[in-house]
Structure 1
Amino acid sequence: MKKKVVVFSQIDPRILEQLKQQYQVVVLDPKKGDINEQICQEVVDADGMIGAGRLLNENNLAPAQHLKIVSTVSVGYDNYDVQYLNQKKIWLAHTPHVLTETTADLAFTLLVSAARKVPQLDAWTKAGEWKRTVGAAQFGQDIFGKTLGIIGLGNIGAAIARRGLYGFNMNILYHNRHEKLVLAQPLNAEYCSMQDLLQRSDFIVVAVDLNTESQALIGTQEFEQMQSHAVFVNISRGSVVDESALIEALKQKQIFAAGLDVYQKEPLQASELFDLDNVVTLPHVGSATAETRLKMSQLAYKNLVDALEGKTPRYLVNPDF
């Protein structure tokens, strides 16, 4: 009898077809009713699950009788109750590394767009407001040769720093829980305190994982320490930033601008951010290119298949339960 796989979100159709050739596949469908109810029903006899963007915890995984693995098509795993998965002896696999470069690309897209007022000036031009030589109201910030502060020098943070160093001749500062000499030395990146980084950086990019220590890491006190011309970029997780404090900092011009791809509540709707002209808002598209999403799906597929075929997946969040 074929093993059963529950697909709990949209995945690349080519990967879905491969799964259907090997396993009994059930694809959850919001049109058929409450997704959590579907999960509770289908997980009872499931061997594996694959997808992204769903909260998986005791509320919907308790009925699982012999679930071996949850394979998420993402690098982040804050949607999953790892402690409960450990208790149930269910592996959680993710897809690191394959989205590093494209996420770094997006971080710099936000940085440049916010610094040079790209969305605002695009709308201004299309609205027919360009009637004479531009003035101070349309001026942006220079980027070349400035100081870039990275909060969280992991693989993505280092990729962002490389773009700053080699593309824009920027000075690199970074703050981490611990020094990252292997990543920092090739970048001439200076390790410093959070306060030092905030006070010295012209551009600040947050690229940390979401955990108990990083929850609300950036709030009122941190924005007050930034320079008035600073550009703030968040491509990590929305909960890392106190969104109300950010909105107030933008309103009061405590900082020049912000570029955001993540928010405390997603999808973002009816936000005060939409009323501000010094913030660029994107819909959580850090890894959203066709090439990268396929690579992520392929890696998630491999993680899943390895587990179902008795092998240990390479990219486990909880290898030792």
Structure 2
Amino acid sequence: MVRSAALRLARLSLNSRGREFGSYATILPKEPFVWGISHITPRSVPTHIARPPYAGGSSALQDVGGKIELGGIAERRVRAAAKLARDVRELASTLVQANVTTNELDAVVHKYIVEHSAYPSPLLYSGFPRSCCTSVNNIIAHGIPDDRPLEDGDIVNVDITVYLDGYHGDTSQTFLVGHVDEPGQELVKVTNEALEAGIDACGPGRPFREIGKAIHDLIREKDFSISPEFRGHGIGTDFHRKPWIIHGLNDGPEIMMPGHCFTIEPAIIQGNNPTCWIFPDGWTASTEDCARSAQAEHMVLITENDAQVLTR
């Protein structure tokens, strides 16, 4: 449910937002509130396309020990899924412009994915009603595509995941819509630098905690914070699984080993309040004070010799 105190704070923050975080449209839930997502009709997927188990499909595939078996069909398939996800992300980048609705963007993304014999992984995942996530300005993650047109000055994260031949490919990027102010441009720039810092910390035999430390070290002197609510995750035949990737300081003992395949996806927020609250739809996560958030995501595969970015 919507926390009334959080909504009051969000409304009050509109008076100071321009001075603190820049000039942009604040995204708040529409009133009167519609609770849940049962009023949203999911898009259809042709019956010949294989679906993940949560969407009514069956899964005979299983990654041994939660890792990708290197050098064989599993690695080829996860690389193919990652490549398709990258291609869809690049398609989305060409669609992001003022006056285009995120629902229109979702429709094009959906069509492209199914035309490539893949399933849009977000669709029906825990009931999610759309084929990608679109998170605008103060939305941290899990924004549901809707009929609000993008505006000049917005930033929007488009989160793409596809399910192809039994494997998921996952990536996202935050795009600038038209003329974004300097604070917004800096936020997106630092977010991509944070992602690259996390990737640079990867390699066989290295602790997963070094990813979070690298991101922390990058932004600790800046006026940004790391969302603790949203983590990277293992990926393969499952959409989400271990290892869980923490983007801030942590003391996790796990070590990266050949075959580990996972996402790094830091959500970086303006200011020092990383608290979030959830819209009445049960999905859309906003910053508490309406500061902007940006996110960027890549898939990383640990091999015997290095860490390879599959969605570059």
Structure holding more strand per residue: 2
TM range (shorter): under 0.3
TM-score, with structure 1 as normaliser: 0.25
Q: Greater RCO between the two (CA within 8 Å, min separation 6)?
A: 2
Q: Which has the larger radius of gyration?
A: 1
